[in-house]
C-alpha cells in the first residue's frame, strides 16, 4: 500500500536559517504530493502541492519538487521565521477510483527561535 | 466564504457514552472526509462520503463507529460506547470534487477526551 516517511522532529532552527524537511513515499501509479501545515490548536492547511514528476510546488517561500526517480518531495525554505513554527505533514493522494484520499506522514515539528 | 466548520471543538465523554461529531463542509463542496489524529501521530483516513453515500470506509473501525452525510445538514461521525483509546483529534475535510489531486480543506477538528 501507499506510505509516506518523514524525517523525525523536532527540528529546531534559528530565525533566518535554511530549512529542509525530508519526505519520501511509496505508491503505485502517479500520486499527487502535498505539504500541509498545522499550527497549534488548528486544522491542517494546504501549503503546496505537485501533481506530476518534476513539478515544483511553492508558497510563502516554501518549495518542494516532485522527484519520481528518488520518490521524494523534500520541503525547503531559504530563511525561516518564528511564525513558521508548526507541524508539517507530507501527504500523497490515493487515486484509486474517484477518491482523493490522502496518506499522511507522521509529521515533523519545526521550532524556530530568535 | 466560511471554511469547513466542525463542532464541538472539545468534547469530553465518559467511557460507555456516545460521541457525536459534526462537520459542515465548505459551501459548494459535496465530498467529505474524516481523519483521526492520535497524539504525536499523523492523520489516519477513516471514511469518505458524498451526499447520502459512503464511498470508502476502509479506515473505519469495524465496531462502534459510523458516519453519515445526509441530504440536508452536516456530516456526522458517531462513536458509540466510547473507550479511552478513542481519545484523539478528529478532523473533517471537504473538497468540491473527489478526483485527481483535489486539495482537501480541513476544519479545526474536534478533540475528544474519554475519561
pLDDT for the residue numbered A98? 46
Gyration radius of chain A over CA positions: 14
Q: Per-residue DSSP letters for A9-69?
A: S-EEEETT--EEE-EEEE-SS---EEEEEE-TTS-EEEEEEE-STT-EEEETTEEEE-BTT
* CA angle, B108 then B110 then B114, to 5°: 155
Report which DSSP code applies to B85.
G
How many whole angstroms separate alpha carbon A58 and alpha carbon A71? 18
**Three-state secondary structure call for residue A82:** helix
Tell me if B89 sits within 8 A of B8, measured CB to CB: no
pLDDT, averaged across chain B? 91
Specify the pLDDT at position B98. 61
Given a contact cutoff of 8 angstroms between Cβ atoms, the answer to whether A61 and A87 are in contact is no
**Cross-chain Cβ contact B100/A100 below 8 Å:** yes
Residue pLDDT, tens place only, A18-76: 999 999 999 988 888 999 999 988 888 999 999 889 999 999 999 999 999 999 999 99
Task: Give yes or no for B39 touching A (CB within 8 A).
Answer: no
Model pLDDT, residue A97? 46
Q: Is B100 on the interface with A (CB under 8 A)?
A: yes
Predicted confidence at residue A9, as pLDDT, reads: 85
Give the C-alpha distances (Å, rounded to integers) separating B33 from A21, B14, B68, B102. 27, 26, 11, 12
Q: How much is the pLDDT for B99?
A: 57
- Identify the closest residue of chain A to B4 by CA–CA distance: A43
Distances, alpha carbon B111 to alpha carbons A48, A79, A111, B35, B88, in Å: 26, 33, 23, 12, 6
Number of A–B residue contacts, CB under 8 Å = 71
The answer to whether the CB atoms of B43 and A104 lie below 8 A apart is yes
Q: By the CB < 8 Å criterion, does A49 face chain B?
A: yes
Amino acid at each position: 500500500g501507499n506510505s509516506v516517511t518523514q524525517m523525525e522532529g523536532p527540528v529546531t532552527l534559528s530565525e533566518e536559517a535554511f530549512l529542509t524537511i525530508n519526505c519520501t513515499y511509496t505508491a503505485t501509479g502517479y500520486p499527487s504530493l502535498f505539504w500541509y501545515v498545522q499550527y497549534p490548536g488548528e486544522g491542517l492547511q494546504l501549503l503546496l502541492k505537485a501533481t506530476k514528476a518534476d513539478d515544483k510546488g511553492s508558497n510563502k517561500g516554501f518549495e518542494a519538487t516532485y522527484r519520481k526517480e528518488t520518490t521524494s518531495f523534500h520541503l525547503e525554505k531559504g530563511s525561516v521565521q518564528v511564525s513558521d513554527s508548526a507541524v508539517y505533514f507530507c501527504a500523497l493522494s490515493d487515486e484509486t477510483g474517484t477518491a482523493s484520499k490522502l496518506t499522511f506522514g507522521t509529521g515533523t515539528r519545526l521550532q524556530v527561535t530568535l | 466564504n466560511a471554511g469547513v466548520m466542525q463542532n464541538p471543538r472539545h468534547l469530553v465523554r465518559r467511557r460507555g457514552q456516545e460521541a457525536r461529531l459534526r462537520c459542515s463542509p465548505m459551501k459548494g463542496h459535496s465530498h467529505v472526509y474524516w481523519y483521526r489524529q492520535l497524539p504525536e501521530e499523523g492523520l489516519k483516513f477513516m471514511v469518505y462520503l458524498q451526499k447520502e453515500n459512503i464511498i470508502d470506509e476502509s479506515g473505519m473501525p469495524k465496531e462502534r463507529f459510523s458516519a453519515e452525510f445526509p441530504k440536508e445538514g452536516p456530516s456526522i461521525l458517531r462513536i458509540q460506547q466510547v473507550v479511552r483509546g478513542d481519545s484523539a483529534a478528529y478532523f473533517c475535510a471537504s473538497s468540491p470534487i473527489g478526483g485527481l489531486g483535489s486539495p482537501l480543506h480541513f476544519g479545526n477538528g474536534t478533540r475528544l477526551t474519554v475519561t
